[in-house]
Each structure stands twice: as C-alpha cells, then as structure tokens.
Chain A
C-alpha cells in the first residue's frame, strides 16, 4: 500500500480515513496507472515527499492538492457577487474616464491632436529638438496607418497614469509619515511589482465583465502605481534633515512643512516616480490587450495569434517609439525641476 499508511495507523485515524467511504477525490494519473496494473517497483529512493497527494494515497479522507486551488476558487466565487456590489459602483468612474478619453483621443482630428501633443511637450520640456522628434514620431505612426491604435494606447495611459499618480502620491506621503504604514505597504508594493502581470487579470476577469474598460484600467493602475508610491515615500524621507529642522525651528506647521518644504524638495524623486509609472502603464496596456484593451497591444496580440510577423513587429516598434516619446518628455520635465533646485 501507500508509503504513509503508518502515519495514520499510528495516530489511530484509520477509521476516519476509511469512514468516509471510498476516495471522494477525482481519479489521479497514478490511480489510473495502478488500475492498469503498471505498479512500479518501489525502492527507498522513490520515497515521495509527504505531500498532500502522497498522504491522500494513504488516507482517502485527506484532501488532495487540487482541493486547495479548487477551494480558493470556490471561496473567490462565493464572495465575488458581494465584492462586485461594492467594487462595481466604486470603479464605474474609471470606465467612464477611459471611455471618455478613448472617445476624445479618437474623435479629435489628427491635424488638431498632433499639434496639441507637440504643444504640451514643448511646454513641459522647452526643447525644440524634442518637440520636432514628437512631430516626427506621430507623423510616422499616422503615415503607416497606426495613428488610431497609438491614440487608443495613449488615451488609456493618460487616464491610468493620471489616476495612479493621483492615488500614489498621497499614499507615498502617508507612508513617509508613518513607519508602521511603511512596514505594511512595502511587502504589498513588492508583491504588486513581482506578481506576473497576467496574474492580475485572472481575478479581475471574474469580478468585472470583459467588455468593461475598467477591467484593464484597474490592472494597469495596480501595476503602474508602485513606482510613484515608492519614490514619493523615498523622496520625502530623503529631504535634508537639517532643512526640516530649520522648518521646525521657524515654527512651521505640519501642513506648511509638507507643502512648503517636503513636497517641493522631493519633487525630483516624485517626478522620477511619475516617469516610471507612465512607462509601466505602457508595458501593462500591451498585456491588457488580452482582456479587450484597445490599442497597439491588440496588433501585437494579432501578430502572435495569427503569426502575422510584420504586423507584430511594426506594432512593437510603434510601442517603442511611444515609450521613447513619453520617457523623453517626462525626463525633460524632470531635468527642469532638477535644474531649478540643485544645491
């Protein structure tokens, strides 16, 4: 019989094992092979780890490993409805924002949209070279008929990165003020950052309908919010303690200190966080195309699914160009902040 029979025998649990009748667990591959008469020779070298499956062999009442994942799934499905009742209205504005942005970016004619984008870049970077580069990139994307896809991607990034910064900066500030909150948040942020992006999508698919934009919106925000939270926290904690002391010595209130000293001095770090947040939302928006996020990611997905090599590669290069544009613009803004307050 099974290797770990003795465990249950010596604990006097044999009755409990057999009591529930024959194994309720679904048949496993090993069972099937056993029935086929292919009982392998067992030597001491083959002793299995006392895993759930091995213990189930010895005692039918012991749950198999698949019960664990199934239990998790069942548990999630049980709370899903009540969770949806709470989350649905809370996240509805995200859907509206995404739909609105998508509509705005696509309905605005190209000869208005491209100059506006160039103007924004010119204002934040004050660089003629960069502005020219932006015009060139969007001109190129439009020329190869990828303009609409690029605008969809840009619309999603604009909304998601904005919301990530909107929530991320206050969370980072709160973290910088409380060591306890920092201790709680750091593992959460680590998890959000290392969890494979696909894994975000799985529970979200259960919670929301795949046709709703907020599904990918939430995934993008969760993935992209991490750097801005981290760097805001870090930036505020790294403000020269002597300057903080001076602020205290002149009797600043906490609010005056936060808005007059800490945030302005942490701004280079916060801006670096915003840059990273934008780059990560771009990365995630491509993956989110699997759950109906429109944009260049859809073309990449089509390239993979239909083995359309050219479409996939050109869309990929389009994403690279978009990334370069976003990165250079935010870095130029960052450089201007840095120049204003170097010591």
Chain B
C-alpha cells in the first residue's frame, strides 16, 4: 500500500512539473494570445448531471468540441478580463446557474443550450450557485469561480490536460 501511494505521489509530481513546463512554454509563445484579440468570447460548458455540474473547458486550442477539451469538476476557472460565455446544459433535471456577484441567472435543460455572457474581470474568486427547482439543498451545485490571469490560466490548463491524459 505504501508503495502504491508513493508511486501515485511521484507520478503526480511528474505530471505537475511537466504541465508547468508546458504552461511556461505556451505562455512564452507569442501566438498564445487571449481570444479577446479575435473579438470572440471565451466559452466553457457547464452540464448539470445528477445534482452536480460537470465543466467542459475548451483546452489549449480554445475551441469546444475538440479532442483537447477538459472535463472537470468545479471550481470553474476562467481567464481574466475577456468576454466570457458559459454554456449551460443538462443531462437530466432542470437546473439554475447563478453568478451571485454579477446577478446573472440562467437555466440548464436537457436537449437545449442556454448561456450567460459577461466579462470575466480581474483575477480573483467569487461564487456561483446552483439550484434544482425542488427546494432540496444540493450543495454540489454551488461552488467557486476562479478568475486567473491568462498566463496562470494557461498553466492550469496544461496541468489539467496532462492529468486528464494520464487518467485516460
């Protein structure tokens, strides 16, 4: 058991180092500019599933629906100071998603896609809330929004991508 734990720990360190290195490399590339330069909103997807949110981050290519999409649990991470669009979907129930600081609220419904748009603003943390229309508390539907500088965000993406690939 000790061995397995040690191996896991070592592998995690290697992944993080590799991810950090990749992040530094990407952050240093001139072509890795925020999509704001293209006047397009940065898109992520939140999908309600069994009283939880599943987050789909577009990955390094910045495009949803491609192989490098990241599938994650909250918190929701977003790059700072760019137009942002959070697409809301559901696999089962009817949910609401609310960015309390921005007083934005939207629904998530199976087979349909709704969204909220906003400027992500400065780096920092805020909260989002979720509800399931039934008065029962579903704490997993609420969580934290972490706004990061573009460079930090890209580093995090790189680490997350490496972790995801490893898990596969």
Q: Do A and B bind each other?
A: no
Give chain B's interface residues, CB within 8 Å of chain A: none
